[in-house]
Amino acid sequence: GGYAPPPPLGASTYVQGPPPDRLPSEHSMLRSGGNGKPAESRANIWELVLVPWFFLVLVLACFLQAGTYGYYLTLVAIPVILLALNLSFLQYQYKHKKNAEVVLGLLCLVAIVISLSVGTYSVSKSLTEYHRLSQGASYFNVLPSEAGASKLDATTLSFTNATLVDTSRTFGYTDTRTQKKSTFCVAPVSDGDVYRRRVQFWAAGLDCCEAHSNFNCLSPSSIGSHGALVLPADMQQLEGFKRAVLGAESAYDLTAGDNYLLVQWHEDPVGYRNGLFSGTMLLFGIFAGVYLIISMMVGCAARSALFPKEDPDYIVDPRQPSPTASLPASGPPPGGAVGGGGGGGG
């Protein structure tokens, strides 16, 4: 073999390895190992995309079930268990310097926190009320003269077509002893018989009337309708509503039934109840689909940062010798002849 002379002084040379301005930071979480050795990792692109999304769907599904059936202890157990497991996973992987797994854990943590926020909002706004309405009975073609005691288990009522809210006998009681000074409004549910004095059902609301007029506790869509939602038991027992009923009795010569019910007038109480569940399902479905798209983008970006494409100007192959040893020292080889072709002689 012959000897290739070194390049002329000042000529450029190719050295395999990362340029100085592209060296990964020693403090970066996305650093791909040190000493020329790639970081050991089992996380792939599908894990970075689908595992966080799976946790998000799992949390939403648990909140849907827990809110629908009233398993409120589960709503506390889910975040505690998942967050504890995720933080333990993060601590273990960070301690062993497995950066890809640390990033995977962070993505899962973000997905869990976001899903907890969406799930908590949905439970408080829709599923709690859906559970309450689903636990009670639904009655149809109810006469306003029927005894309220026979409907104590009801949560939705559909009255006969002749039933209406007699807003001409509105009474509003304002509790001036409280700081908020809320007005408790009631009006009798009637079949139009002005001579009927005994009232079994009262349309009720907060801050939606004046002392004896302007009963605005009916939504525009419920005007002319015949359905109602029974107010929760804690609202039925509010002192303000009891005083409002007593005031209406005195002002209009009425008599409240022994077990009268306070109701919120509604166009379609059963449809409203079912809509609370279907609306939550739709929200969760749309949110999960959008998050899957976001997770794909974030997962691809994280994968590219953790494991750059095999660029010969960037990747250091640990099987190759050190760049500083890629060229022999200047000068002829010891004890050897220069050149490869035939020789000189003398």
Tell me, what's the pLDDT at 36?
Answer: 42
Tell me, what's the pLDDT at 142?
Answer: 95
Cα–chain-centroid distance for residue 87? 19
Q: How far apart are CA 231 and CA 293, in angstroms?
A: 41
Tell me, what's the pLDDT at 54?
Answer: 95
277 and 235 Cβ atoms separated by less than 8 Å: no
Q: How far apart are CA 264 and CA 256, in angstroms?
A: 17
Q: For residue 227, is pLDDT > 70?
A: yes
- pLDDT > 90 fraction of the chain, expressed in percent and rounded: 55
Strand pairing partners for 198? 255
**Per-residue pLDDT band at 23 (split at 50, 70, 90):** very low
Tell me, what's the pLDDT at 236?
Answer: 94
Q: Residue 316: which residues within 8 A CB-CB, separation 6 or more?
A: 16, 17, 18, 36
How big is the chain, counted in residues? 346
Q: For residue 315, is pLDDT > 70?
A: no
Mean pLDDT of 16-35: 45
Over residues 68-121, the pLDDT tens digits come to: 998 888 888 888 898 999 999 999 988 888 888 898 999 999 999 999 999 999
What is the DSSP track for 31-90?
---STT-PPP----HHHHHHHHHHHHHHHHHHHHHHHHHT-HHHHHHHHHHHHHHHHHHH
Q: How far apart are CA 195 and CA 321, in angstroms?
A: 106
Residue 195 vs residue 140, higher pLDDT: 140
Q: How far apart are CA 181 and CA 189, in angstroms?
A: 26
- For the chain, the average pLDDT equals 81
Name the nearest CA neighbour of 295 among 43, 51, 31: 51
| Least confident among 30-44, 126-140, 198-212, 227-241 | 30-44
**pTM, two decimal places:** 0.72
**Per-residue pLDDT band at 239 (split at 50, 70, 90):** very high
Tell me, what's the pLDDT at 179?
Answer: 74
Q: How far apart are CA 130 and CA 275, in angstroms?
A: 9
Q: How far apart are CA 336 and CA 345, in angstroms?
A: 15
Q: 286: burial class by Cβ within 10 Å (0-12, 13-18, 19+)?
A: exposed
Tell me, what's the pLDDT at 313?
Answer: 45
Q: For residue 59, is pLDDT > 60?
A: yes
* Single-letter residue type at 325: A
* Single-letter residue type at 52: P
Q: How far apart are CA 30 and CA 125, in angstroms?
A: 40
* Single-letter residue type at 211: A
Counting Cα atoms < 13 Å in the Cβ hemisphere of 311 gives 10
Strand pairing partners for 190? 164
| Least confident among 39-48, 56-65, 74-83, 94-103 | 39-48
88 and 105 Cβ atoms separated by less than 8 Å: no
- pLDDT > 70 fraction of the chain, expressed in percent and rounded: 76
Tell me, what's the pLDDT at 10?
Answer: 53
Tell me, what's the pLDDT at 332?
Answer: 55
Tell me, what's the pLDDT at 155?
Answer: 96
262 and 204 Cβ atoms separated by less than 8 Å: yes
Q: For residue 345, is pLDDT > 60?
A: no
Residue with tokens 């006998």: 169
Q: How far apart are CA 32 and CA 23, in angstroms?
A: 10
Q: For residue 329, is pLDDT > 70?
A: no
**What is the C-alpha radius of gyration for the chain, rounded to an integer number of angstroms?**
38
Mean pLDDT of 320-331: 51
The highest-confidence range among 2-16, 17-31, 78-92, 130-144, by mean pLDDT, is 130-144
Residue with tokens 């398993």: 71
